[in-house]
Amino acid sequence: MYPARFDYVAPRSLEDAVEALAGGGDDAKVLAGGQSLIPLMKLRFAEPSLLVDINRIPGLDGIAEDGGRLRIGALVRHNDVVGSRLVADRLPVMAAAAPLISDPLVRNLGTVCGSLCHADPAGDWGSVMLALGAEVVARSPSGERTIPVSELLVDTFTTSLAPDEIVTEVRVPLPQRRSGGHYLKLERKVGDFATVGVAVQLELDDGRIGRAGIALTAVGPRNVTATEAERVLAGAEPGPDAFAEAGRLAADAAEPVDDVRGSARYKRAVVQTFVERALTRAHEIAGGSR
């Protein structure tokens, strides 16, 4: 199964890549890990006229702490996140999600930023980054801008990126207070898309909940932020009652549909249970139950 014909360039610098992408018009695409784009091209769901392969550009493959945030470059693979001590220590929600993405072979090539740009509502990173309040950095010939992930993810396979923009990194704010996070995913088998996924991030402030981030995978046209659930948790006393209430509100926020993976009603029930469970775990990780 071959993709349709396309032109291909593999620039050695970000500047050259930005120029090439801009020169390629609206049908040019960036190739990073290729684990979503190449299957789509093989199925002819995507037929880009030009691929700008950014894999040869140095300096995009780092995970680094910088001024209170974690910077994850455009070539950081899912498996790099699995192996990152920095991530394990500081952002357990990322550490929990990374090994659940697709399968080990895909994790070796697929990238965090690419997954966000693909904007599949069943993508795990979208929910994780929404829960964390992350933003991406996009570069184009007219300069650089940051886009909150909440504004990046517009609709199924649709982002707010302009055709000439390349995402160079995602920036995750590092919690300054006691915090914990968790990701839970229900899948039929390894490598299948999520039936339901749930990302939560809890930051504690003097025994109460400071900020709560909750986002849902595969239950809407994009990754869904459970805004009401986040709102009732902020300032609340952490514990079973608050977590159960958040689970109910998150289930209300979900917009699942009936499909081969389950009925909408079933998926909503899973959201409720998973949010409650993930919050309980996040609270434990934050040291709140000691």
Partner 1 sequence: MEVNVTVNGAQHRVDVEPRMLLVHMLRDRLRLTGTHVGCDTSGCGACTVLLDGTPVKSCTMLAVQADGRSVTTVEGLARDGQLHPIQEAFKEEHGLQCGFCTPGMMLAAAALLESNPDPGDEDIRWALSGNICRCTGYVNIVKAVRRAAGAMRQTATQAG
Distances, alpha carbon 42 to alpha carbons 29, 95, 121, in Å:
15, 31, 21
Is residue 238 within 8 Å of residue 288, measured between CB atoms? yes
Contact region with partner 1 (CB under 8 A), list: 102-110, 123-131, 143-151, 270-278: 102-110
| Between 39 and 148, CB nearer to partner 1 | 39
Kindly state whether residue 106 participates in binding partner 1, applying the rule CB under 8 A: yes
Contact region with partner 1 (CB under 8 A), list: 35-43, 59-67, 117-125, 226-234: 35-43
What is the rounded distance in angstroms from the CA atom of residue 171 to the CA atom of residue 136?
6
Kindly state whether residue 127 participates in binding partner 1, applying the rule CB under 8 A: no
| Between 13 and 289, CB nearer to partner 1 | 13
What is the rounded distance in angstroms from the CA atom of residue 258 to the CA atom of residue 267?
9
Binding residue for partner 1, selected from 15, 66, 103, 258, defined by CB under 8 A? 103
What is the rounded distance in angstroms from the CA atom of residue 209 to the CA atom of residue 245?
14
The C-alpha R_g of the chain, in whole angstroms, comes to 19
- DSSP 8-class letter at 220: S
Binding residue for partner 1, selected from 15, 65, 68, 105, defined by CB under 8 A? 105
Main-chain dihedrals φ then ψ at residue 42, nearest 5 degrees: -65, -40
Binding residue for partner 1, selected from 64, 154, 162, 190, defined by CB under 8 A? 190
Binding residue for partner 1, selected from 15, 25, 42, 188, defined by CB under 8 A? 42
Total length of the chain: 290
What is the rounded distance in angstroms from the CA atom of residue 49 to the CA atom of residue 40?
14
| Between 35 and 280, CB nearer to partner 1 | 35
Kindly state whether residue 108 participates in binding partner 1, applying the rule CB under 8 A: yes
Q: Which parts of this chain interact with partner 1 (CB under 8 A)?
A: 1-8, 10, 31, 34-35, 38-39, 41-43, 51, 53, 55, 102-106, 108-109, 190-191
